[in-house]
Amino acid sequence: MQNPAPKRRVIHPWPLRLMHWLNAFAIIMMIGSGWQIYDASPLFGFTFPPLVTIGAWLGAAIAWHLAFMWLLAINGLIYVIWTLASGHYRKFFPLSLSGVWRDLRAALRFDLKHDRGVYNAVQKLLYLGVLFAGLVVVLSGLAIWKPVQLWFFCNLFGGYFTARYVHFFAMSAIAAFFAIHLILVALVPRTLPPMITGGRQES
């Protein structure tokens, strides 16, 4: 009997890749249009330059924002169902503080092992953190969009006024994740192709 070829397993299954890129597109559209909306009534002493905002004016920015919120929310909801149903969520666990500390120090020494398809503790923390920020950004967005009809979300974030700040900080957390994510992919570029092709790893 001949030896079968070694079994090879997909690193990122196709539903994950599809949802990842749909999410990337939705996030870019939501943040770009959100910055334009912010500029109409800034919360802080700065505005976003037109170069990085989406929508020619406030009306267009709101239209983009309220169009792409559906992609962001539905894609996110399908992801949550998929990750629970497929068992993918197990890759985020176990997660311990000591593990995060160990891997963070290793990463800063550029000494962190990269097993493709396996998340280190810092990755686990960042991914869970950005998922939480995504949940907060959607719920606080609903609170701002419908402070009367969805008053319970509005109350959850301390009223309309503070919900805007919560929405802004949740966006900031996602934008920070996005930046770190891109920097890390640039530093370890071999992590990118599997997110497009799926990749194969020996099992």
- What H or E segment, with its residue span, contains residue 161? helix 160-187
Q: From the list 11, 16, 17, 32, which residue makes contact with other proteins (rule: CB under 8 A)?
A: 32
Asked if 51 touches other proteins (CB under 8 A), the answer is no
Q: Does 128 bind other proteins (CB under 8 A)?
A: no
Closest of 114, 123, 117, 112 to residue 88, by C-alpha: 117
Alpha-carbon gap, residue 94 to 85, rounded angstroms: 18
Between 2 and 115, whose beta carbon lies closer to other proteins? 115
Residue 63 interacts with other proteins (CB under 8 A): yes or no: yes
- Among 8, 12, 1, 2, smallest CA distance to 119 is for 12
179 binds other proteins (CB under 8 A): no
Distance from C-alpha of 186 to C-alpha of 180, rounded to nearest angstrom: 10
Stretch that binds other proteins, among 2-10, 27-35, 92-100, 101-109 (CB under 8 A): 27-35
Interface residue with other proteins, options 18, 67, 74, 77 (CB under 8 A): 67
Sign of CA dihedral 55, 59, 63, 66: positive
Interface residue list for other proteins (CB under 8 A): 24-25, 28-29, 32, 37-38, 40-41, 54-60, 62-64, 66-67, 70, 146-151, 160-161, 164, 185-186, 189-190, 192-193, 196
